[in-house]
Amino acid sequence: MRIALYGATGMIGSRIVLEALSRDHEVTALSRTAGAQVPKAARVRQGDAGDADDVARIAAEHDIVVSAIGPSRTGGRHQVFLHAVAVLAENVGTRKLIVVGGAGSLEVAPGLRLMDTAGFPEAARAESETQAAALELLERTGALADWVYVSPAPMIGPGERTGRFRTGTDTLIGDYISAEDFAVAVVDEIENDRHSRDRFTVAD
């Protein structure tokens, strides 16, 4: 499968590249700057998720589009990030769009999001609010795009690829997932197409 991946140089994006390549998919790693460092065998190309014409061209050349870009942790790029998500949703055409999201909007009880609980770290609030807004933006697109929003567990970091993890929908199911196993879940979704216009979460 031909995969276009925005954010391929980040912690999560780079692991999605490796996982997809290990399964013999063709990956185009997209970066706004030339000379991005990505795993060998991935095609590197300049691409801006905020440029509608460029997104449409890239989507037309691939089978699926994945966004592993993220907002600033301070909220400083809030509108830039949301604009990119909107542009992707509006311009991927018939291609599926998978968006790597956040955990803050997961529910810990009916109607209670993790980010709204007492003790939620203030350092993570701006990023969580932006990611929650991105999910709401996708939900408002209706039939415009076939999207999937994937929330990791609240703690995600470099670790071991075990291939063992759980998935859920809108409710928090665990505290941790390795970036490697999260990438497995994303590529599983690329291959199996189990979700459409909804969110799922991944935890160990």
Of residues 63 and 38, more confidently modeled:
63
pLDDT at 91: 97
Question: Is a pLDDT exceeding 90 seen at residue 131?
Answer: yes
pLDDT at 32: 76
Name the pLDDT band for 134 (thresholds 50, 70, 90): very high
CA distance 189 to 200: 10
The answer to whether 35 and 29 have CB atoms below 8 angstroms apart is no
pLDDT at 38: 77
Instruction: Report the largest interatomic distance among the alpha carbons of the chain, rounded to a whole angstrom.
Output: 46
Question: Is a pLDDT exceeding 90 seen at residue 102?
Answer: yes
Note the Cα 64 to chain centre separation in Å: 13
Question: Is a pLDDT exceeding 70 seen at residue 141?
Answer: yes
Return the number of other C-beta atoms located less than 10 Å from residue 67's C-beta. Answer: 26
Question: Is a pLDDT exceeding 80 seen at residue 120?
Answer: yes
pLDDT at 162: 98
2-203: which CATH number, 3.40.50.720, 3.60.15.10, 3.40.50.12280, 3.40.640.10? Answer: 3.40.50.720
- The tens digit of pLDDT for each residue in 32-53 reads 776 667 777 789 998 999 999 9
Question: Of 147, 166, 168, 154, whose CA–CA distance to 66 is shortest?
Answer: 147
Q: Indicate the pairing of strand 166-168 with strand 198-203.
A: antiparallel
The single-letter DSSP state of residue 123 is G
pLDDT at 74: 62
- The tens digit of pLDDT for each residue in 71-85 reads 876 656 789 999 999
The answer to whether 97 and 149 have CB atoms below 8 angstroms apart is no
For the chain, give the mean pLDDT: 94
In which residue are the tokens 């997209």 written? 30
The dihedral over CA atoms of 18, 50, 201, 104, expressed in degrees to the nearest 10, equals 130
CA distance 19 to 165: 15
Name the pLDDT band for 142 (thresholds 50, 70, 90): confident
> Mean pLDDT over residues 124-138, rounded?
95
Name the pLDDT band for 89 (thresholds 50, 70, 90): very high
